[in-house]
Structure 1
């Protein structure tokens, strides 16, 4: 599993670049991010 401390800034950087290039992606990126964070919050402790 990728270390969370490395993954979050990297995902944020990639998302920021994509939003600058294609602003319409903002809705999808935010939605996917919120879904992933929600799932990690709910099931993160149970996946180990």
Structure 2
């Protein structure tokens, strides 16, 4: 899978989680940034 596809899936899931539970915004943003950073470092 390409990194762009994985980033898109992660962003979509994060957006849905924020819509369902706005209280977890900080948590979702932190997880998104960590995952995208790891994808960039590992060149997946």
TM-score (norm 2): 0.67
Give the root-mean-square deviation of aligned CA atoms: 1.8
Unaligned runs of 5+ in 1: none
Q: Which has the larger radius of gyration?
A: 1
Change (3 A) 1:14 1:40: closer
Higher relative contact order (CA 8 A, sep 6+): 2
Unaligned runs of 5+ in 2: none
The aligned length equals 43
Paired residue for 2:24? 25
